[in-house]
Amino acid sequence: MTSSTLARRIHATSHLTGEFVLRSGRHATEYFDKYRFESDPVLLDAIAGEMAVLVPPDTQVLAGLEMGGIPVVTALGRHTGLPCAFVRKEAKAYGTCRLAEGADIAGRRVLVVEDVVTSGGQIVLSTAELRALGADIAEALCVIDRQQGGAQALAAEGIGLRSFLTADALKAAVGG
């Protein structure tokens, strides 16, 4: 399956119209519900299969960010055979009290995995915390880069961004 075919499937599955309030507080008549493509196991598996070639060859652990990065990293791990860590927004206060569950990250080359990047803010925050725990992080990988400053914010923190699709590519695939 080509990336443009997948882009059309992602759009058909996730693009909604109506009245929406965005996290920024702005109002919109269109909304992209990323959880719709993440909850479709066949579509998510196809996306992960295509994304696998974007994983740098020196990667030792894939780290998915809560919440949307978790299904993506799990599917990507199936295609790459790499172990996964599941990264919380903050360490839990009970049990293991860990920020990152699953594979050990200390002293290992870790690729941060996210579903959609807009500002890059959560990747910046999570990467700082993972680096403090000993992870070696140089890059992040996302399904869609909305091209709203995320890549630049990550670059300022020494993090390269690899993306399967950009907002422009998604629009072009559906004739928008």
Domain positions in the chain: 48-173
Nearest to 167 by CA among 32, 27, 16: 32
Look at residue 176 and tell me whether its pLDDT is greater than 80: no
102 is in an annotated binding site: no
| Residue 22 predicted with pLDDT over 90 | no
**Residue 117 assigned ligand-binding role:** yes
Confidence bin at 96 (pLDDT 50/70/90) = confident
pTM: 0.93
Which whole number is the average pLDDT over 102-106?
97
The mean pLDDT of 121-148, rounded to a whole number, is 96
- Cβ 58 vs Cβ 82: under 8 Å: no
Confirm or deny that 146 is annotated as ligand binding.
yes
Domain 48-173 indexed as CATH 3.40.50.2020: yes
Residue 147 is assigned to a ligand binding site: no
Give the residues across from 117 on adjacent strands.
Answer: 145
Query: Can you tell me the distance from the alpha carbon of 46 to that of 58, in angstroms, rounded to the nearest whole number?
Result: 23
At residue 102, φ and ψ (nearest 5 deg) are: 95, -130
Confidence at residue 1, expressed as pLDDT on a 0 to 100 scale: 65
**Average confidence score pLDDT of the chain:** 94
109 is in an annotated binding site: no
User: Is it the case that residue 23 has pLDDT exceeding 80?
Assistant: no
User: pLDDT tens across 33-84, in order?
Assistant: 999 999 999 999 999 999 999 999 999 999 999 999 999 999 999 999 999 9
Give the up-direction half-sphere exposure of residue 103: CA atoms within 13 A in the CB hemisphere.
Answer: 22
Residue 92 pLDDT level (bands cut at 50, 70, 90): confident
| 119 among annotated binding-site residues | yes
